[in-house]
Amino acid sequence: MILLMINIKTLLMLAIVAIIAVSCAKIFTKGASNSKAIAAFANLGVEEFQNYIANPVVQLLDVRTQDEFDEGHIAGAMLVDVNDSTFVEQAMKVLDKQRPVAVYCRSGRRSARAANLLSGQGCQVTNLAGGVLAWQDAGKALVK
């Protein structure tokens, strides 16, 4: 009887683990095409991001709105608004797919979405974690 209870407990635990694993897989692949791998990109903190964009090969992309860009942006950045329905097409017109891309926005959320979209196009993308807010909190300059 005790052995049967242990086996039932073991089976229940295995079932719970399997359910959690399937649920997590669905969460992480939600919206991903069955024919494509999930796009990946790197997140860097302010200091690492600043060092990264100092490399002239890296393309810097601000994905905020025109008004936000005009209020202040990181020097050398190009602007393509990720909220525009043609974001991917516009970005691919100005970016060289063979060169790495660094993206940022106000807080890091929109740029993470942009990074996901661009990496799905085959770009090597790095996102500024915390966005311009973190950049400014670290005392880094913006240009107008």
Of 44, 60, 103, 105, which is the active-site residue?
105
DSSP codes joined into one string, 75-94: TT-EE--TTSTTHHHHHHHH
Q: Output the CA–CA distances (angstroms, integers) from residue 31 to 23, 46, 87, 105, in the order listed.
A: 14, 30, 18, 22
d(CA 9, CA 23): 21
105 is catalytic: yes
d(CA 64, CA 128): 13
d(CA 115, CA 109): 10
User: Which of the residues are catalytic?
Assistant: 105
